[in-house]
Copies of this chain bind each other. A is one copy, B any other.
Amino acid sequence: MNQPIAHPNRSAGLVELRIPSKAEWVAVARLAVAAVANRLNFSIEDIEDVKLAVAEACTNCIQHAHGSDQIEITCETDSDALTIRVRDYGQGTRPEAIQSRRVDEPRVGGLGVFLIRSLMDAVEYDVHPERGTNLVMTKKVTA
């Protein structure tokens, strides 16, 4: 908690956001990232995909990363891709937990990671039971 945001590869197009790990602030992350995506040449549909992926990631931090009071979202923009990192400093999880499934019976839950993987072009989870979860996901601009 409360660590300064690390900047290994600070670039000109880096936007960093921190929100409290509470449901009411997810909309802020969603809209800020949509505004970032708007600066690239994304279609409206792609921007909606990115919004949803970020929201799912934040929702998971809030619901599963116990002990983390903040969520850190960084956006790195290129002319041809948007890379978004969502991380918490809470109680993490085991890699096996990060599974995604399609629905074939009405069961509540378990759709977040599936949606993230479906909507983004590259998704990498760095999970650790103690250190919290670090998700890096990329959406490519398709011209």
Give A contacts to B, CB under 8 Å.
2, 4-5, 7, 10, 12-20, 22, 24-25, 27-28, 30-32, 34-36, 38-39, 69
Contacts and interface: CB of A to CB of B under 8 A. Distances in A.
Contacts of A36: 28
A18 B20 contact: no
Main secondary structure of the interface of A (DSSP, over half): mixed
B12 A2 contact: no
Given A15-B17, A15-B18, A39 B28 contact: yes
Contact of A14 (B5, B20, B34): B20
A24 B31 CA distance: 16
Contacts of A20: 12-15
Contacts of A38: 27
